[in-house]
C-alpha cells in the first residue's frame, strides 16, 4: 500500500449512538485525510441528539451520521478497530489478523445523565466524554507510526 492511502479506522460501540459517533467525528475533524473513519454498533440504536449537540458546540457536525450495524461496513478493510465501550469489546466480532484492535472505554453519557431533569443538566456529562474522546483521537497517530510504508 502506498503512503497516500488513509488509515482505515472503525470506532465500535454497542449502540453507535454516542461515543463511537463522537470518535468518528473527531477523527474526521482532527486527522483529516490521514484517516478514513467510520463508526458502527453491535446493536445500533439511532443517533443521540445530545451527542450531536455537544459536538456542534465545538464545530464538529455529526448530524448527518447514521447509526449502523457493523455488517453494513463489511466491504471495508480496516487497519484499526477501536472499541469505545466494554460491551463492544466483549461482543467484538472476529476480524482478520492484520486488523489491530484497540480498546479504550469511555463512560456512557446517557447512563451518566439518566437522572438529569433537563438537557441542560445532562450536557456536562456529554461534554466531558466528548473531550476525553478528543484527547484519545489526538493521540491515535502514535499507534500507526509506520503502518503504511
Residues annotated as catalytic are 13, 85, 92
C-alpha span between 81 and 123 (Å, rounded):
28
Compute the distance between CA of residue 68 and CA of residue 79 in angstroms, rounded to an integer: 19
Spatial separation of the C-alpha atoms in residues 18 and 61, rounded to whole Å: 13
- Residue 134 CA from chain centroid, whole number: 10
Could you list the beta-strand ranges (E) of the chain.
7-13, 35-41, 80-83, 100-103
Q: How many residues does the chain have?
A: 149
Whole-number Å distance between alpha carbons of 37 and 11:
8
Amino acid at each position: 500500500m502506498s503512503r497516500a492511502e488513509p488509515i482505515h479506522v472503525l470506532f465500535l460501540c454497542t449502540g453507535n449512538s454516542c461515543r463511537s459517533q463522537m470518535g468518528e467525528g473527531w477523527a474526521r475533524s482532527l486527522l483529516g485525510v490521514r484517516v478514513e473513519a467510520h463508526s458502527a454498533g453491535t446493536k445500533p440504536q439511532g443517533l443521540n441528539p445530545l451527542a450531536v449537540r455537544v459536538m456542534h458546540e465545538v464545530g464538529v457536525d455529526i448530524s448527518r451520521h447514521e447509526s449502523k450495524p457493523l455488517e453494513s461496513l463489511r466491504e471495508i478493510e480496516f487497519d484499526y478497530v477501536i472499541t469505545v465501550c466494554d460491551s463492544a469489546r466483549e461482543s467484538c466480532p472476529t476480524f482478520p489478523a492484520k486488523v489491530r484492535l484497540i480498546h479504550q472505554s469511555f463512560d456512557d453519557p446517557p447512563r451518566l445523565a439518566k437522572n438529569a431533569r433537563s438537557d441542560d443538566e445532562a450536557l456536562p456529562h456529554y461534554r466531558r466524554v466528548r473531550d476525553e474522546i478528543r484527547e484519545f483521537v489526538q493521540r491515535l497517530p502514535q499507534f500507526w507510526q509506520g503502518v503504511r510504508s
